Amino acid sequence: MRLTNLAVVFIGTDKYLNFLPSWYDSCEEFLVPGIRKQYFVFTDGELEGTPDNIRVYKQEHLPWPYITLFRFGTILKAKQELEEYDWVLFLDADMRVVNTIMPEELFTPKPYIGVHHPCHYMKMPPHDQYPGAFETEQQSTAGIESTDDISVYFQGCLWGGSVPEVLNMMTELQLRTQTDLEKDIIAKWHDESQMNKFFAERRTKVHVLHPAFAFPEDFSRHCKFEPKIVHLSKDNSKYHV
């Protein structure tokens, strides 16, 4: 398996751009040290004096839920540049890498990477604070069918894989999203619903990361495992923002 470089994607518009400095520092320190990393930053803000390994792309701030719903299309603005890399990894702006992650933990012969949603993993019942439930609306392109493998529900905060396959995935999911919108349909959990449908259709091709890679700071008392990546509490995080 070839692994020479990694593209890491950040989307942060409006106040979410404030997460970038500590997000970047944590990735530089702990995320696959020794591997060349290039950061693709999509924002409506102004950045000055950025390191050489950050590329900035303009992205207007969109109202909820469109800023997340159109996530795949946003990243595809850099399609040509991303083609220069072997692997790509998307991390939400409010994620912090807190322990060293080695290449073999992320990269396998499987072309896709996803993280098991911690609440689904812990069998917590779904409610408005987190999904853990697949799209059931059959009119949506994200609607789950009987032939889909729904043994794992993936969280949309972290995903990626081999560049050619992930670029094709994003192109397909952006198309599915547009198809839904033409029928005035938005999947319940937006881009996460679309990603889960895609992974359920090809489950054996997805390398499943333990929920330690999406450790929920809000529910940390429920987790009986040590974090690799923390999903920050937006109200009272102990991590620097």
Cis peptide before 51 (omega within 30 of 0): no
In a domain? residue 221: yes
Q: Does residue 239 sit within a domain?
A: no
d(CA 183, CA 193): 17
Q: What is the pTM of this model?
A: 0.93
- State the residue range of the domain holding 91: 5-231
Mean pLDDT of 100-117: 96
Looking at residues 91-112, what average pLDDT do you find?
Answer: 96
Closest CA to 187 of 46, 72, 28: 72
Q: Sorting pLDDT into bands at 50, 70 and 90, what band is 237?
A: low
pLDDT at 127: 47
The total of structural domains in the chain comes to 1
Q: Quick check: is 236 in a domain?
A: no
CB neighbours (10 Å) of residue 151? Answer: 10
pLDDT of res. 2: 61
How does DSSP assign 198-212, residue by residue?
A: HHHHTGGGEEEEPGG
Residue 241 forms part of a structural domain: no
| Mean pLDDT across the chain | 91
Q: What is the pLDDT of residue 240?
A: 47
List, for residues 35-58, the tens digit of each pLDDT value. Answer: 999 999 999 999 989 999 999 999
Q: Is residue 10 part of a domain?
A: yes
Asked if the structure places residue 238 within a domain, the reply is: no
- Chain segment 122-152, per-residue pLDDT in tens: 876 654 444 558 999 999 999 999 999 999 9
- Domain annotation covers residue 84: yes
Q: What is the CATH number of the domain that holds 22?
A: 3.90.550.10
The answer to whether position 40 is within a domain reads yes
For residue 91, the cross-strand partners are: 158
